[in-house]
Structure formats: C-alpha cells, structure tokens
C-alpha cells in the first residue's frame, strides 16, 4: 500500500512539473511576442498585426500571476491589440483595449502617451474635440516625460488641431510656433505646414492659408496624404469665386 501511494505521489509530482514547464514555456512565448511587437513599433513606427498571436499573449498573461509578474507586458499587449483593431476599423474594440491598458497604469510614460494619443484620435474622429483635447494634452505631458521628440512634436500638432477646431486660435498659434522649432523629417514638416494652413483657413485668412497649403506640393508625401490640403485649397478658390482653378 505504501509503495502504491509513493507511486501515485511520483506521478502527481511529474504531472505538476510538466504543467509548470508548459506554463513557463507559454509565459516565455507570450512575453517574447510582446517584445517582438514592441521592437517593430520602436524600429519602424508600426506594429505586428497578428491578432491571434497577441490574443495568445493576453490569455497567457491575464491572471493573478500575470498581474504580479508581467503587468507591464500585459498592458503593452492590450495596447498592441487596440492598435490592431484600429487598423481593422473596429474603433469600439480598439477603445476597449486602450482602456484595459490604461487601467493597468503602465509605468513607461511612452505608453501612457500612446494610449492617450490613440484615445484622442478616436474622440476627434467623432468630432468630440473637448474630449480629444484632454487626451492629447495628457499624451503631450507623457511624451515630454519620456523624452521622445518624434511623438512629442507630432502630438503638439494634434493638440493644435483640436484648439483650431474649438476656435481657440491663440492657443493653437502658440503651439504651432513651438512645433516649428522641431526638425524631425520632411513628412513632419509637411504636416506642420498643413496644420498652419488649416489655422488660417479656419480664420478665413485665405491668402495666408493658400501660401501654406500650396507649398505642400513641394514635400515628398503620398498623394492620399495631400488630399486634405487639396480639399481646403478647392474650398478657398470656391469661396473666392475662382471656380476654374477650383
């Protein structure tokens, strides 16, 4: 009888060891997937769109042990999943995952900035500019704390655009003056010029708006990125009764 219980005990121990090793392997794989997604984001300003892989990472890390030992990785996985649903045009699910990430209170200020910036964008798409402004201002503070010039500079333009939409032109002008000092790349400068054009367009200072908006043609941007500027240019010419050019 004693030998039988010893045999059962050994079998249980082996089973526990196998389960433990399997669990550890899943954890390593889940954390490696999050690290890979983060590497893609840092190197190329994009992320993996493998929703199934990220879902595996979330299911593996989402539990009591995950909250204790992998809280930051879980928060990042939520953020990346939110970005994936954004690319799938499922903005409601994207917002749900951003909120889950935010509730875990990521310690990395860069992720705090990204979450708030994404939420700001979703609010702006719904024309909720007051809410968008609040999120974008939070993200600016976080990006500044993180010391990431690329994100901080682009986010200044987001905040300026919200101020313009809310007709807070003094605030927008102050931010655009700060934004002009950043030397990021030609794509950023083109966006900054376009935002300045929007500023004058909304103030109905059409000659100044055209000066900025027409200069967009000088920058190497995809045609779809120039469409917004072209729409404003067309509207200006219509309002000036210059229909042939429009």
- What is the reported pLDDT for 83? 86
Residue range 150-177, pLDDT digits in tens? 999 999 999 999 999 999 999 999 999 9
Comparing 179 with 65, which gets the higher pLDDT? 179
Residue 106 structure tokens: 């990521």
Residue range 205-245, pLDDT digits in tens? 999 999 998 888 887 777 777 788 888 888 988 888 888 87
**In contact, 238 and 246? CB cutoff 8 Å:** yes
Element (H, E) at 179: helix 169-179
pTM of the model: 0.79
Comparing 1 with 106, which gets the higher pLDDT? 106
For tokens 């500079």, name the residue. Answer: 153
Q: Using the predicted structure, report yes or no on whether residue 44 has a pLDDT greater than 80.
A: no
229 vs 216: CA distance, rounded Å: 8
Closest to 239 (Cα-Cα) out of 196, 199, 207, 197: 207
Return the CA Rg of the chain.
Answer: 25
**In contact, 136 and 158? CB cutoff 8 Å:** yes
For tokens 């984001």, name the residue. Answer: 41
Residue 39's pLDDT band (boundaries 50, 70, 90)? low
- What is the reported pLDDT for 86? 86
Residues in Cβ contact with 74 at an 8 Å cutoff, skipping those fewer than 6 apart:
58, 61, 62, 66, 67, 104
The C-alpha torsion from 78 through 83 and 89 to 90, rounded to 10°, is 10
Residue range 53-78, pLDDT digits in tens? 787 778 887 877 767 777 888 888 88
């Amino acid at each position: 009888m004693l030998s039988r219980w010893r045999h059962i005990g050994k079998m249980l121990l082996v089973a526990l060891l196998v389960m433990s090793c399997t669990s550890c392997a899943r954890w390593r794989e889940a954390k490696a997937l999050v690290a890979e997604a983060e590497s893609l984001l840092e190197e190329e300003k994009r992320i993996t769109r493998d929703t199934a892989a990220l879902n595996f990472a979330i299911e593996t890390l989402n539990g009591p042990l995950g909250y204790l030992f992998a809280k930051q990785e879980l928060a990042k996985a939520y953020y990346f999943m939110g970005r994936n649903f954004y690319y799938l045009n499922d903005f409601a699910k994207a917002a749900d995952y951003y909120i889950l990430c935010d509730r875990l209170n990521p310690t990395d200020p860069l992720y705090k900035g990204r979450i708030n910036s994404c939420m700001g964008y979703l609010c702006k798409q719904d024309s909720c500019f007051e809410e968008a402004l609040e999120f974008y201002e939070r993200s600016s503070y976080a990006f500044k704390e993180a010391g990431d010039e690329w994100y901080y500079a682009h986010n200044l333009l987001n905040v300026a655009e919200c101020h313009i939409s809310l007709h807070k032109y003094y605030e927008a002008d102050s931010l655009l003056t700060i934004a002009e000092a950043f030397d990021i790349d030609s794509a950023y400068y083109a966006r900054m010029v376009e935002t300045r054009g929007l500023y004058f367009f909304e103030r109905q200072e059409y000659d100044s708006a055209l000066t900025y908006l027409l200069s967009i043609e000088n920058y190497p941007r995809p045609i779809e990125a120039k469409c917004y500027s072209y729409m404003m240019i067309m509207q200006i010419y219509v309002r000036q009764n210059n229909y042939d050019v429009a």
